[in-house]
């Protein structure tokens, strides 16, 4: 059982976290390049948020949504 966990540790350290070690070394020479990955994720998140809000607005303007509350009688 100990060999299984040591195998998981070696795979994680040698393969999965290797790109993060490269980013950490890159930070010493260029802060902006090292944080480029973070900025990429921020841009993707903002693009997804804008798309989601546009879709919500489109569905709201169509008027197809059923706004009647049926879960509790006292809500309406």
Give pLDDT tens digits for 25-60: 888 888 888 788 889 999 999 999 999 999 999 988
Task: Give the pLDDT confidence score for residue 24 in this predicted structure.
Answer: 83
Please give the structure tokens belonging to residue 14. 């040698």
Place of tokens 């040698």: 14
The closest alpha carbon to 23, from 39, 47, 11, belongs to 39
Whole-model pTM? 0.54
Task: Give the pLDDT confidence score for residue 36 in this predicted structure.
Answer: 86
Domain positions in the chain: 2-63
Cα–Cα dist 73/76, whole Å? 6
């Amino acid at each position: 059982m100990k060999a299984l966990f040591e195998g998981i540790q070696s795979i994680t350290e040698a393969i999965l976290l290797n790109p993060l070690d490269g980013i950490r070394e890159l930070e010493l020479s260029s802060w902006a390049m090292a944080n480029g990955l973070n900025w990429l994720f921020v841009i993707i998140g903002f693009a997804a948020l804008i798309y989601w809000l546009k879709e919500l607005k489109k569905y709201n303007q169509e008027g197809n949504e059923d706004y009647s509350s049926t879960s509790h009688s006292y809500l309406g």
